[in-house]
């Protein structure tokens, strides 16, 4: 039986390289939203279309719409383009996790890219022990400081439990989180890096966000009041 790797070895390797470039251009645009950066980002996304169309049949038909929209990117605003592209890649990533592309030589690297973990070191902080208590830390991918109720969501099906102003604490966000992005005041995840799904959404919605905490869903208690300091990458418990 022919595999995708056997049928399209060069295309597989090409996509691996291009994905890294595209996410870097997305990051550059989100950090400095000037016209030149947007043009570079759009060109990078366009360069993936031959590969995405090649693999499109391996994505559920009703989700192929994300790729089809990318073919008309001139009709999309920058935000919509980023979301459509990230969703298309997420679906490809999901096929990897499901084992459909498990035999590909780049499958582990793709998982590492889209679900990368960051090694964090201990962070010293000045605090009044009677007021706050250190919980965890990670990589700051969207700056800002916010206080609110932590809502620990371990199952995507429970995302509707979010209330206005909650700080979402989860392993990693998925596309079904997008409708709730304007509801929350901040994001904390166990996994991720600068170009992960949570980081991209947080920057688009201007939400303070810390990713790659590794243990956030275990150390943060659902319903407790926390302070998310995405300027320093630190999450603390408010004890008063």
Residues whose CB is less than 8 angstroms from the CB of residue 240 and which lie 6 or more positions away in sequence, other chains included: 130, 131
What topology does CATH give the domain 132-238? Glucose Oxidase; domain 1 (3.50.30)
CB contact at 8 A, 5 and 101: no
Which residue out of 87, 95, 197, 203 is catalytically annotated? Answer: 197
Calpha distance 184→166 (Å, rounded): 5
pLDDT of residue 114: 47
The tokens describing 81, both together, are 């383009």
Calpha distance 33→42 (Å, rounded): 13
The DSSP bridge pattern shows strands 167-170 and 145-153 to be parallel
More reliable by pLDDT, 201 or 234: 201
Residues whose CB is less than 8 angstroms from the CB of residue 58 and which lie 6 or more positions away in sequence, other chains included: 4, 92, 95, 100, 101
135: phi then psi, degrees, rounded to nearest 5: -115, -60
Question: Please, which pLDDT band fits residue 207 given cuts at 50, 70 and 90?
Answer: very high
Rounded mean pLDDT, 193-204: 92
Computed from CA positions of residues 37, 24, 110, 4, in that sequence, does the dihedral angle turn out positive or negative?
A: positive
pTM of the predicted model, to two decimals? 0.65
| 197 counts as catalytic | yes
pLDDT of residue 118: 30
The tokens describing 240, both together, are 């008063």
Q: Which contiguous run of DSSP H or E holds residue 108?
A: helix 107-114
pLDDT (tens digit per residue) in 96-146: 555 555 544 444 444 454 443 333 233 333 444 335 688 888 899 999 999
**In the chain, what are the domain boundaries?**
4-114, 132-238
pLDDT (tens digit per residue) in 26-81: 888 888 889 999 999 999 999 999 988 988 887 777 778 888 889 989 988 888 78
């Amino acid at each position: 039986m022919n595999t995708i790797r056997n049928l399209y070895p060069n295309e597989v390797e090409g996509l691996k390289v291009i994905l890294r470039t595209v996410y870097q251009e997305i990051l550059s645009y989100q950090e400095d939203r000037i016209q030149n950066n947007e043009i570079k980002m759009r060109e990078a996304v366009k360069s993936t279309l031959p590969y995405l169309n090649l693999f499109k049949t391996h994505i559920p038909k009703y989700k192929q719409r994300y790729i089809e929209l990318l073919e008309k990117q001139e009709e999309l605003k920058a935000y919509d383009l980023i979301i459509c592209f990230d969703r298309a890649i997420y679906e490809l990533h999901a096929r990897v996790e499901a084992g459909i592309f498990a035999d590909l030589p780049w499958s582990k690297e793709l998982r590492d890219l889209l679900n990368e973990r960051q090694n964090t070191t201990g962070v010293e902080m000045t605090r009044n022990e009677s007021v706050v208590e250190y919980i965890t830390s990670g990589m700051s991918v969207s700056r800002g400081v916010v206080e609110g109720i932590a809502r620990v969501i371990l199952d995507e099906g429970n995302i509707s439990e979010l209330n206005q102003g909650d700080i979402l604490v989860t392993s990693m966000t998925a596309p079904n989180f997008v409708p709730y992005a304007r509801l929350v005041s901040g994001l904390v995840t166990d996994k991720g890096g600068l170009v992960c799904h949570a980081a991209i959404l947080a920057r688009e919605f201007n939400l303070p966000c810390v990713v790659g905490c590794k243990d956030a869903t275990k150390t943060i208690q659902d319903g407790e009041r926390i302070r998310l300091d995405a300027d320093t990458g630190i999450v603390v418990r408010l004890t008063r």
